[in-house]
Chains A and B, each alone.
Chain A
Amino acid sequence: MDINLIFRIAGLGIIISIFNMVLKQADKGEQAHLLTLVGVVVALMMVVPLINSLFQNIRGVFGF
């Protein structure tokens, strides 16, 4: 499996937290909140296919 996905999610988190700090310094709290939301959605879109493939694999192995 690829560990790249973990690095990608971690990088996304770090970038978002940096941008969040910048936006909070510039007094744009609500946009910082929206940015966090977007980050969460993007990470969700990365993780959901992975979970789907895991469940398909488990179904195949255990014969559901």
Chain B
Amino acid sequence: MEIIKIIGLGLITTILIVIMRQQKPEIAIYLSIAAGVIILTLVLSRISDMIDIFQDLAAKANVNMLYLGMVLKVLGITYVTEFGVQICKDAGESAVASKVEFAGKVFILVLAIPLLGAVFDYIVKLIP
């Protein structure tokens, strides 16, 4: 059971952070970053398995692999951005956090714009 491992890690880290925050808040941030990275790495192998299954399904359903790759890229950007934003917010820098979030939204939009163009082309083709 991997989830029990992760819960234990989270609890231990939380206790250590609560101890640390009164004395040295700057070290407490490192603790929370390390815990976040370790948990995300543990989960990432499962996500990788899931993505393999999705790719199999997409190949069976004859979905264009380009679109699936785009969706996966957006998913990756979301996860990474959320990770960074949470760390910034944890340290009390919500201004920086909202900028990072904005950057993530912009990059997702940049990835999605070619798709939007394809949709518009399709609509124009449908209109007689």
Contacts and interface: CB of A to CB of B under 8 A. Distances in A.
Interface residues of A, number: 34
B34 A47 contact: yes
B44 A1 contact: no
Contact of B31 (A6, A39, A61, A63): A6
A46 interface: yes
Given A13-B24, A57-B44, A3 B38 contact: yes
B34 A9 contact: yes
A contact patch SS: helix
Interface string A8-48: 01101110110010000000000000001001100110110
Contact of A9 (B27, B41, B48, B80): B27
Contact of A39 (B19, B27, B51): B27
A58 B80 contact: yes
Given A6-B35, A10-B19, A61-B51, A46 B75 contact: no
Interface of A: 1-3, 5-7, 9-10, 12-14, 16-17, 20, 36, 39-40, 43-44, 46-47, 50-51, 53-55, 57-64
